[in-house]
Structure formats: C-alpha cells, structure tokens
C-alpha cells in the first residue's frame, strides 16, 4: 500500500525539521527532508509529494525580516511548481518561521491563489522581546481548514518567536479571514476567552494565531504543534492525568488522512 509522502523543506537556519519529520511519521507518512537548493536545481521534484511542510527556525538568520529571503526563493524560483502543487489539490503547512515564509511569499491569506501583493505579515512582538511560552489556542468554529478537522476546541501548544504578531494595514483582510472561515486558531486564556498579553503572546490582531487559504489546504500557524505530540512534551505531565497523545498530533494526522485521497 502506498503511503503519503511529505517533503519537509529545509535551508540554512531551519531548526525544527526533525521534530516536524517525526510528527508526520507518527501520523503514518513517509517523510523526506529536502534542502531547497535540490528543488531549485531540479534534483528533487515537488510533484512527487502530497504534502509540503515548512518548519520553524530562523531561515537565513531572518535577515531583512523573518522568513523573507526564503519567501522570495519560493516566489521567484519555485513559483511554477508550487502553483501546480496547489492546483493538484495537495497540502502545505507552515509552522512559525514557515508561517512567516508563507505569508511573505503571498501563499497566505490566499483569497485568490498566490498573491503578488503581500496582504499581511508577522511583525515584531508587542512585548519587544522573544516569547517562549506555552499558550492556549481556540479552534474557531466553522473554519474550513483540512488540518484542524474535528480538533479539540481548546489546545495547548508552545510558541517561540520574536516576530509573531499577525497584522495587516487593511482591516478588510481581517474581516474576510473571519467571515470566510480562514481564521483557524485564536490565542485565548485557559478558559477559552479572548484576552491580551501574556495569553496573546505577540499582540496579534484579533488574537489570530493561525490561518488557512480559501481552499483550506494551505495552513500556517505560529505555535508549534510538532512540539506537543506526546503527553511527555507537556510541561505538567508529571502532575496531571493527560492523554497519551499531545494536542498537536491531530494536525499532522488530519493532513495525512486527507492526502491519502490523492494517492493513485
């Protein structure tokens, strides 16, 4: 039986590739870590995979702005293959730095495919410092995202970023994300209420922590689901009666289950 194939993209500065690789393996996929230069040179073909994952880290040292250089490589060197990948109904996920890359490459919000105009960004945290903490996320009802189907309404995941504030100069973008079911996760407190810092660790507009495109197949989020795939990742696992499976694993399992329908 064929297995879903996942490409975990890496480059200089990527540092969450192994965790992302392992999470997809636990979800039942075959995973390969591929340096972006191998795609650019044609040594690897994106079309051979059903899921493309952009993991966290600090691609190219986050020079210029977080994720911007890698975003430009995707946009100007791999656009044709990425557009075909999306047109073929395949999946993409960007986590933390990967989310920054997807937004700056025009892959998200993705109202009408890849945009040549950047419609949003991930900007410096309002706190003015790197935020490394566990946060609660509320899955927005009626969101269309493939990755969050039937997920727990309240999930607990870590963040680790300095430029995580989801923002836009156009309120209409935020309105459309919410009205179209593309605002997937929001930062909340332990009771599920929308509130400010430290529960919203970066000051994101409308507490948005993750979004998808209009198809629901392209998804980006700042918190790290790959860092909570087992109860032993949880900071209070010795003190609480937790499920064996961490909150983040469902995201990877949903992707793999959906992608099985793409296999020949």
- Catalytic residue at 224? yes
52: closest CA among 77, 86, 3, 2?
86
187: closest CA among 249, 108, 233, 131?
131
Q: Is the dihedral of CA 226, 216, 43, 67 positive or negative?
A: negative
- Catalytic residue at 132? no
The crossing angle, in degrees rounded to 10, of helices 97-104 and 68-77 is 50
Partners of 123 in the beta sheet?
A: 165
162: closest CA among 114, 127, 135?
127
Catalytic residue among 161, 224, 228, 234: 224
- Catalytic residue at 212? no
Strands (E), 140-263: 154-161, 165-167, 183-188, 208-212, 218-221
Catalytic residue among 96, 119, 212, 228: 96
Q: Under a CB-based contact definition with an 8 Å cutoff, are residues 62 and 187 in contact?
A: no
65: closest CA among 12, 23, 122, 139?
122
Strands (E), the chain: 5-10, 30-35, 51-54, 91-95, 121-123, 131-139, 154-161, 165-167, 183-188, 208-212, 218-221
Q: Under a CB-based contact definition with an 8 Å cutoff, are residues 147 and 220 in contact?
A: no
Catalytic residue among 163, 226, 228, 234: 226
Active-site residues: which are they?
96, 224, 226
């Amino acid at each position: 039986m064929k297995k879903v194939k996942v490409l975990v993209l890496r480059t200089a500065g990527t540092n969450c590739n192994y965790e992302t690789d392992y999470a997809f393996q636990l979800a039942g996929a075959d995973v390969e870590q591929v340096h972006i230069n191998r795609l650019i040179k044609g040594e690897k073909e994106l079309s051979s995979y059903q899921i493309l994952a952009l993991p966290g880290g600090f691609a190219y040292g986050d020079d210029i702005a977080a994720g911007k250089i890698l975003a430009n490589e995707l946009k100007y060197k791999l656009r044709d293959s990425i557009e075909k990948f999306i047109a073929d109904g395949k999946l993409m996920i960007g986590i933390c730095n990967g989310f920054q890359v997807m937004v700056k490459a025009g892959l998200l919000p993705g109202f009408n495919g890849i945009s040549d105009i950047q419609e949003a960004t991930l900007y410096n945290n309002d706190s003015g410092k790197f935020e490394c903490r566990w946060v609660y996320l509320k899955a927005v009802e009626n969101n269309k995202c493939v990755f969050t189907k039937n997920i727990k309404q309240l999930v607990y995941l870590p963040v680790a970023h300095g430029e995580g504030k989801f923002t836009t100069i156009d309120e209409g973008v935020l309105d459309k994300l919410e009205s179209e079911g593309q605002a997937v996760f929001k930062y909340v407190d332990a009771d599920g209420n929308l509130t400010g810092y430290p529960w919203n660790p970066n000051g994101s507009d409308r507490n948005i922590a993750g979004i998808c495109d209009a198809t629901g197949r392209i998804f980006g989020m700042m918190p790290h689901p790959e860092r909570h795939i087992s109860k032993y990742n949880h900071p209070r696992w010795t003190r609480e009666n937790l499920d064996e499976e961490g909150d983040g694993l469902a995201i990877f399992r949903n992707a793999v289950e959906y992608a099985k329908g793409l296999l020949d």
